[in-house]
Amino acid sequence: MTGATAMDLKTLIKDVPDYPKKGIIFKDITPLLSDARAYEETITRLAEPWKGKGVQVVAGIESRGFLLAAGVALKLGAGLVPVRKSGKLPRAVFGESYSLEYGTAAIEAHQDAFPKGAKVLLVDDVLATGGTAKAALTILERIGGKVMGVSFLIELDFLKGREKISGYDCRALISY
Ligand code: AMP
């Protein structure tokens, strides 16, 4: 491909007002995912800053985070760790509850998801208030991971999620 720019990717993210609740503008990334070139460009650019940094596992947050984390893991030659919604993983987990831009939730990961000291990258689609990422980072560190950083496709600047995860190397491809 000839290299989609940040603006190209932005045109494939659709605003859905008042979804799933009044006042929320939902960022729908499905048009981007279904465009082969844009999807590939997204994965390439999400992985780019972490190349050569020895990332051993990429953790993705259910469920849209999985769609990005899997590709990034393959690009980096790393494993994939799903951070799932409560009650989905079959073995012993570490879990965290947190509040969302639109509600509350709980996520968890297997206690033995990776060896202690493993270099971990966290990937998700949207950084909004930062509660989800913060909870995921807490879990990853409880497992014993050495967090290298966090990569998002989209950052909603006005919600200041970055402040909640200050201290981590945080990257986003697109911001609003
Ligand atoms: P937060 O914990 O507030 O940073 O919310 C981040 C999580 O909620 C991500 O996993 C997103 O998938 C989802 N999310 C929050 N706000 C939005 C939004 N406006 N559009 C799409 N997804 C969102």
Which of the following is catalytic: 45, 64, 84, 171? 64
Q: For the purposes of burial, counting CB atoms within 10 Å of the CB of 103, is it exposed (0-12), middle (13-18) or buried (19 or more)?
A: exposed
Sorted by where each begins, the domain ranges of the chain are 53-175
Chain segment 58-111, per-residue pLDDT in tens: 999 999 999 999 999 999 999 999 999 999 999 999 999 998 766 789 999 999
Pocket of ligand 1 (CB under 6 A): 24-27, 61, 64, 100-101, 124-133, 161
Greatest C-alpha distance within the chain: 45
Is 64 a known active-site residue?
yes
Residues 94 and 143 sit within 8 Å (Cβ to Cβ): yes
Number of the ligand 1 atom closest to the C-alpha atom of 29: 21
Tokens of 50: 């972490």
Selected from 3.40.50.1220, 1.10.8.640, 1.20.1250.20, 3.40.50.2020, the CATH number assigned to the domain covering 53-175 reads 3.40.50.2020
Number of the ligand 1 atom closest to the C-alpha atom of 135: 2
Chain segment 13-36, per-residue pLDDT in tens: 999 999 988 999 999 999 999 999
pTM of the model: 0.96
114 alpha carbon – ligand 1 mean position (Å): 26
